[in-house]
Structure formats: structure tokens, C-alpha cells
């Protein structure tokens, strides 16, 4: 079900312009049952509130400066998403993971998926902001119930990474690969990230919110601290976000079902074979601590194995940053 969190007329206008054609102010006014002046005000709001650029041509009207593919309930259902798990689409939320947590508190039964056209306070690992412009990427959070304690969570974020990688490869990005612990890279640039959050009692029944952000049709952005890319930039074409959400959900469902049955050990070899930094010299940062070593792989619960001065050490945890040793960014 779609929840409209911004004024209906502005979103109706956006859906009208989605076809990429010019629409005159008069035609838009007739379609929305508003005046030409009201049309102009809605256009202003599209640009100022949602950051959507429009072309204006006298005598022709308004046109989206860049194509846009909005998430669509009916299309997602036709493509089978509701057969995988229930889903909720929002026009705008602070973050899909925060909204997912609120839905759990209201009694919504997992599993379910939260999607949004944009996030106003999207979160990444280590407190970073996840850039979330309107209508171009996939911002999603999947809620799962965990009934057998925290052990069921071992290696879960790495399994999710495999699923995201497989979805990207199925969409044409054959060189998508993994970076421990939660990033997916293409050509050395980040294209997707994962953030897991727990609610409830980890020793008993709890919920895990699996946040996944994928750069789909983003072509430019400011304030991102590391090299990034998108599906559109790599494939040189627009990607149907509705189609990709379904491809991603099928991969997630398959991988999560297998993980619940077999545990992370069943994925260890596959994960290592797709780790782009296997055998590389890296610098690991945890708080003020800096450790240099060579990546040996991961263990049976997903911890990173490093050779540090010829001695193997293992590392795990959400506040760890990993860089190639010749990369000076912290």
C-alpha cells in the first residue's frame, strides 16, 4: 500500500510527467483540476522540495530534465513481489529502517519490506549519511523475526551482501563484488551498502532490520566521502527500479532461507571467492586503533581473518573500517 506523505497534487504532477514528454500548463491544470498558477506553484515545489529538475519551454510546457521511474504498487504486485513478502511503499521517510522499526512497534508482523522514494535521514555504517535523492535509487528495509537467539544472525550481513551482489550481476553488472563487511563494489567504487539493526532481546525473540541501499539511476551527487557508482552509470541506461526490487527480493529470500537452514558456514567459500580484497594488504581502523595486515579470508561466522606480522588475527563488529593499505582515506 502506498502512503502519501507529501501533497497529493505534487505527486500526481510527477506521475503525469513521468512519461518524459512535454506537458503544457493548461493540460496539466486540466488533468489536476487546478489553475495555471497552481501548476506553476507545484512545479516550484517539485524542484525545491524533491530536487527534481524540469525543462521549461515556452509554448511546449514542462518536461522532466531526466527520466524517472517511480515505484508502483500494481507493477510490483504483477512482478510477484507480494508473493515473496508484504511490502509498504512511502513517498518520503526519515529512513526505511526507522519506519520499519515503527511498524514492528505497531504490531505489523514480519517478514515485510519497506520501500521509499527518498529518505530525509538515510543512515549508513559508522553513523554516515546515506545519500537518498528522490526517485532514483532503491532504499529498502526488510524486517525478519529471529526466534533462536543471536546465533542465527552469524554472518547474516555477509549473506545479504551475497544476495545483493547476485541481484546486481543478474541485472548485467558482471563485475560486482564484495568488500568486507557490508559493501558491494563495481570497478572499485561503492554501488550498494547494507546496515543491520536489532530490536528486542538477542538472546530470545528479536527482530532484525536489514537495510539495503543500492545506487540505481543516480548520475550525480555531492558530499559522498568515497568513490561511488550506480547501475545507470555502469550500464549506460536507465534501470527499471520496480524490476530490480523484485530481482533483489528473490535473491534475498533465497539466500536468507538457506542461511536460516544451514548457517553461514554454507556460504563461507562462496563469499571468499567473491571478496575483491582477498589476499590484499589492508589497513583496519577500529576507533583510534589502526592495524595493517593481509586479508586471509573470513571464518565460519563471518569474522575477517588478517595476517598481522605473520600472525593470524580475527576481527568482527559494526564499527570497523577497512581500506586498502595504499588508500589514505580514513
**pLDDT tens sequence across 23-50:** 998 998 888 888 888 888 888 888 888 8
126 is catalytic: no
- The helix-helix angle for 36-50 and 25-32 (nearest 10°) equals 90
For the segment 74-96, the average pLDDT, to the nearest whole number, is 95
Q: Look at residue 59 in the predicted model and tell me its pLDDT.
A: 87
Indicate the pairing of strand 183-186 with strand 177-179: antiparallel
In 79-224 the beta strands, taken as DSSP E runs, fall at 87-90, 112-116, 138-146, 177-179, 183-186, 189-200, 206-214
Q: Look at residue 131 in the predicted model and tell me its pLDDT.
A: 67
| Binding-site residue set | 119, 123-125, 190
125 is catalytic: yes
Sign of CA dihedral 234, 237, 238, 244: negative
Which of 53-67, 145-159, 181-195 ranks highest by mean pLDDT?
181-195
Q: Look at residue 150 in the predicted model and tell me its pLDDT.
A: 65
Where do the domains of the chain lie? 2-64, 73-272, 277-324
Q: What percent of the chain has pLDDT over 90?
A: 61
pLDDT digits (tens, 9 = 90+) for 223-257: 677 899 999 999 999 999 999 999 999 999 999 99
Give the closest residue to 125 by CA, choosing from 311, 3, 285, 299. 285
323 is catalytic: yes
Integer CA distances (angstroms), 183 to 122, 128, 217, in order: 16, 14, 18
Q: What percent of the chain has pLDDT over 70?
A: 90
When the pLDDT of each residue in the chain is averaged and rounded to a whole number, the result is 88
Catalytic residue among 79, 118, 125, 241, which? 125
Q: Look at residue 146 in the predicted model and tell me its pLDDT.
A: 86
Domain 277-324 listed as CATH 3.40.50.12780: no
Say whether pLDDT at 74 is over 70: yes
Confidence bin at 273 (pLDDT 50/70/90): very high
Instruction: Give 221 or 232, the one with higher predicted confidence.
Output: 232
Task: Say which residues have a Cβ less than 8 Å from residue 23's Cβ, sequence separation at least 6.
Answer: 16, 17, 61, 62, 63
CATH fold of the domain at 73-272: BirA Bifunctional Protein; domain 2 (3.30.930)
162: burial class by Cβ within 10 Å (0-12, 13-18, 19+)? buried
Q: Look at residue 316 in the predicted model and tell me its pLDDT.
A: 86
87 phi and psi angles, rounded to 5 deg: -140, 155
* DSSP per-residue string spanning 147-177: -S-GGGGTTHHHHHHHHHHHHHHHTT-TT-E
Q: Select the CATH number that applies to the domain covering 2-64 from these four: 1.10.10.10, 1.10.3720.10, 1.10.760.10, 3.75.10.10.
A: 1.10.10.10
Least confident of 24-33, 81-90, 157-166: 24-33
Give the closest residue to 63 by CA, choosing from 36, 30, 23, 33. 23
Catalytic residue among 190, 232, 241, 250, which? 190
Instruction: Give 192 or 36, the one with higher predicted confidence.
Output: 192
| Binding-site residue set for biotin | 119, 123-125, 190
Amino acid at each position: 500500500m502506498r502512503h502519501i506523505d507529501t501533497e497529493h497534487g505534487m505527486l500526481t504532477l510527477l506521475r503525469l510527467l513521468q512519461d518524459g514528454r512535454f506537458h503544457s500548463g493548461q493540460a496539466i491544470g486540466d488533468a489536476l483540476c487546478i489553475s495555471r498558477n497552481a501548476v506553476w506553484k507545484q512545479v516550484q515545489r517539485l524542484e525545491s522540495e524533491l530536487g527534481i529538475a524540469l525543462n521549461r519551454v515556452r509554448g511546449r510546457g514542462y518536461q522532466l530534465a531526466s527520466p524517472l521511474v517511480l515505484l508502483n504498487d500494481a507493477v510490483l504486485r504483477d512482478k510477484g513481489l507480494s508473493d515473496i513478502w508484504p511490502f509498504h511503499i512511502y513517498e518520503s521517510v526519515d529512513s526505511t529502517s526507522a519506519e520499519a522499526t515503527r511498524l514492528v512497534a505497531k504490531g505489523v508482523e514480519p517478514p515485510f519490506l519497506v520501500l521509499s522514494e527518498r529518505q530525509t535521514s538515510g543512515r549508513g555504517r559508522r553513523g554516515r549519511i546515506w545519500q537518498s535523492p528522490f526517485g532514483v535509487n532503491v532504499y529498502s528495509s526488510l524486517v525478519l523475526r529471529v526466534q533462536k537467539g543471536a546465533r542465527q544472525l552469524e554472518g547474516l550481513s555477509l549473506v545479504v551482501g551475497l544476495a545483493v551482489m547476485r541481484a546486481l550481476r543478474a541485472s548485467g553488472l558482471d563485475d560486482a563484488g564484495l568488500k568486507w563487511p557490508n559493501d558491494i563494489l563495481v570497478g572499485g567504487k561503492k554501488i550498494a551498502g547494507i546496515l543491520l539493526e536489532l530490536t528486542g532481546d538477542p538472546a530470545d525473540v528479536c527482530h532484525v532490520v536489514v537495510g539495503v541501499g543500492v545506487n540505481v539511476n543516480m548520475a550525480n551527487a555531492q558530499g559522498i566521502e568515497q568513490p561511488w557508482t550506480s547501475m545507470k552509470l555502469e550500464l549506460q541506461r536507465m534501470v527499471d527500479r520496480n524490476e530490480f526490487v523484485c530481482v533483489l527480493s528473490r535473491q534475498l529470500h533465497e539466500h536468507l532461507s538457506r542461511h536460516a537452514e544451514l548457517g553461514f558456514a554454507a556460504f563461507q567459500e562462496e563469499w571468499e571467492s567473491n571478496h575483491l580484497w582477498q589476499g590484499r594488504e589492508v589497513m583496519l581502523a577500529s576507533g583510534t586503533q589502526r592495524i595493517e595486515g593481509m586479508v586471509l579470508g573470513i571464518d565460519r561466522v563471518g569474522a575477517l581473518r588478517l595476517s598481522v606480522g605473520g600472525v593470524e588475527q580475527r576481527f568482527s563488529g559494526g564499527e570497523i573500517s577497512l581500506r586498502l593499505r595504499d588508500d589514505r582515506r580514513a
